[in-house]
Amino acid sequence: MSDGAFSPRFRVATVGVFALGFLIAFEALAVTTAMPLAARDLDGQPLYALTFSAFAAAGVIANVVAGAWSDRAGPKRPLLAGVAVFAVGLLVSGTALTMPVLIAGRALQGLGAGAIGTALYVLVARVYPETLHPRVFALLAAAWVLPSLVGPFAAGAVATVLSWHWVFVGIVPLVAAATALLLPQLRAQAMPGTGAALPRARIGWSAVAATALLAMRPLLDVPAVGTALAVLAAVVAVVALRPLLPRGALVAAAGLPAVILVRGLFSAGFAAADAYLPYSLIALRDITPVVAGAITTVGAVSWATGSELQSRFAGRLSDHRAIGLGSVAFFSGAALVGVGTWTALIAVVVVGWLCAGLGIGTAYPRLSTMTLALSVPAERGRNSAALQIADGFGNGLALTVVGVVTAFAPDGEFVGAFGLAALLGLGVLLIARRTAPPDLAR
């Protein structure tokens, strides 16, 4: 198709968008392999969890700032600033000699990655016609799925042959090359913004929300009162989250608010199941790590497949319908995974995880598309930031809930994880119809 995402007009920009998204995703996933080695070398095992939570918490603040900045002045400056901060974070982490310095580098990476992710959404909205949005967001979804297949293995190989330092430092020139591909498009496009001032109140709320998100998991380990403190942090996070999302998002108001909420529920449900699926198979059913990993990979492959299929039917399958189909598949899959894990019917687990991945792969790109379609141009950055904040908070809150369940019932972590995934899948299924604009949701 002459007007496709890889047509001469868009080819370089599309490769740049995909490459930059891929490298950020690769780094986010690859560090899971390198971080244990880094923690051991730096004698930082007690601070291990902070290397991940610092990344996520910093990303919340960056989402808000980059979203407002993109609306104010266009996506060029926040994108380039995000790349610069991300690269500095990689260098700081890769040359760290102490665990606190490594954590600081991870926080810088989170700031950069959050800014890049939000600015890329605004860039897509400004560069590509709406008819290509499902295809471009399918490519961005693939950019996150593919590293889940190769990232941990590649990082392990690099860390073994060279050292864990190169898992960070080695990415810097690749990020620079991917950004260079986008520079011609950034220079060619006139991308003015509203010129409005940065919203200090929302940035402040993002800092409160990030702090609460950062504190939730560590607080669970406080003797006697840890569960209560973690729940309190979760409540503070939700309160701080409200000003960062479109009005009515937390009650699933029709249209854009429901789109944002559904995205968060999808992320939470998938995170709850994904975090505990291999663990449950190994612990409860004595499945080997290789087989458990292969089963987990099924979800990544079906996610990519769902993303590709929805883009191929973009002209015949509406955004609202794609989200509805995805919600049915996800709920069914989450329920099957829980049943199959508990009953040791591995075939049921595989089918369920395949369905869950297919469902989220079908819906995710369309939730991105609808966010842009339902946003006025002056608020695309703000709403793109809200979408990604919903992703991050969905993950954090889901894992905190499972942690609280485990604190009360130490043998119930798997029931809590898969039960929560199914419950959130049901929530997605019930709310999905409200993602249509108000005049169509009646």
In this predicted structure, what is the pLDDT of residue 152? Answer: 61
Other Cβ atoms within 10 Å of 288 Cβ, number: 10
Q: Is 134 helix (H, G, I), strand (E, B) or coil?
A: helix
67 and 6 both lie in a single domain: yes
Quote the DSSP letter at residue 421.
Answer: H
40 and 168 both lie in a single domain: yes
224 and 185 both lie in a single domain: no
In this predicted structure, what is the pLDDT of residue 441? Answer: 45
Domain limit, last residue, from 146, 163, 191: 191
Return phi, psi of residue 202, to 5°.
-65, -35
223 and 150 both lie in a single domain: no
173 and 211 both lie in a single domain: no
39 and 126 both lie in a single domain: yes
158 and 89 both lie in a single domain: yes
In this predicted structure, what is the pLDDT of residue 54? Answer: 81
221 and 280 both lie in a single domain: no
In this predicted structure, what is the pLDDT of residue 85? Answer: 95
64 and 213 both lie in a single domain: no
162 and 232 both lie in a single domain: no
Q: Is 145 helix (H, G, I), strand (E, B) or coil?
A: helix
Residues 6+ apart with CB under 8 A from 6: 14
The count of structural domains within the chain is 3
**pLDDT by 10-residue block (mean), the chain, 442 residues:** 70 84 78 74 75 80 88 85 93 90 91 89 84 84 73 68 82 87 70 64 88 79 82 86 88 89 89 76 68 76 86 79 90 88 82 92 88 84 87 77 70 76 88 75 44
295 and 163 both lie in a single domain: no
Structure tokens that stand for 232 in this block: 């309190």
415 and 274 both lie in a single domain: yes
Complete DSSP assignment for 245-281: S-TTGGGT-TTHHHHHHHHHHHHHHHHHHHHHHHHHH
Range of the domain at 25: 1-191
In this predicted structure, what is the pLDDT of residue 2? Answer: 47
E-assigned strand segments in 249-380 = none
Nearest to 100 by CA among 52, 151, 138, 44: 44
Which amino acid is located at 230 in the chain?
Answer: A
* Rounded alpha-carbon distances, angstroms, from residue 153 to 24, 56, 169, 287, 353: 16, 23, 17, 20, 21
**Global pTM value:** 0.80
CATH code for position 371: 1.20.1250.20
In this predicted structure, what is the pLDDT of residue 3? Answer: 64
E-assigned strand segments in 208-287 = none
